[in-house]
Structure 1
Amino acid sequence: MPLLHELQLGEQLNECVHQTRRADFALMLAMLADDVREQSQFILPSSQQINSPSNTEQALRAQLELAKAAPISLETMDDISSFNQAQLVQANDLETLRLQNHLNPKAISFRNDAKHIDTQVMTNTSVHCQAKHKQGQSKTVMNQTLSFNAKLWLNAVQQSLVKAPLVA
């Protein structure tokens, strides 16, 4: 489990500061997750967006008189033949190619797998990101909101002030 917030380190960060152990302090900060969204103070409650029937894609396309949307991926193996546009490109007839694509949009991709990420891309991400992808939680935050007890925090601050040496 990656380090998500400073509380997992306990008092070690504080001790490194007071004992001027810069290397240990830098190492511990480097081990923390680099994604700010994983920090407890940035986890916000989620809200649901209500879609009214007038804002659906089909209603907006009809209202604006737009052509049908290009499919994301090939639906049948016969659709592969629609990608054969080499004759138009060879004849330098790019206007016809563009017109055909606007009248009958071709699929954007060969496959419709939103969860597929190339291995070269995954090896370039952080260890924390790779762990989230393996767990299948690419859009969720692994960290949980922490409860904050202000009274205990103020008592801890008061205790540290009392125990701190006097500066002359």
Structure 2
Amino acid sequence: MLVDDIKNDILINELQLGDKLNQCIHHKERSQFSLLLAMLTDDVRAHSQFTLPITEDVSFASDEENLRKLFKLPLEQALALDGVDNIQAFNQADLIQGNTLSDLYLTNALKPVPLAFRNDIKFISRDVLDNTSLYCQKKHENKDEGDKKVNSRLSFKAEEWLNTVNESMKHTVELRV
């Protein structure tokens, strides 16, 4: 019998069965085939195709600072200004007016200018808000005012609803009679 040859270990994948599944198919032993498949573990995470190989070689930590040093990258471009003293970085009109775009490009590569002037995370420009639905616009306006009426859930009074359903059913029964 094919099942007797298997050790008393827990069967995790088909490799432990060897060619026993193939033999069951060729000998048309459907019950043995079903039994062998049922003996495999039902935890999919234990199957070999879902396990990743273990790599021992971790030569450096993959944090952002080490990667910037490794690839000799410039400082990260800030999303917004940190303080008032950084406003001068946005004053690049003289470079554009002097038609020195290569200087402007080099300056931005060495000292990246923040992408936005504002450092308000919750700020949404009027152009963006105008392209949203009226509900979204009202929700944003009421969030600033502290009014939670738009966002709050409606109160549901189950007894009143059941009484209304009961009354309407009585009314329909009276109409039919």
Q: Report the TM-score range of the alignment, normalised by the length of the smaller protein.
A: 0.3 to 0.5
- Return the TM-score normalized by structure 2: 0.39
Structure with the greater alpha carbon radius of gyration: 2
- What TM-score do you get using the length of structure 1 for normalisation? 0.41
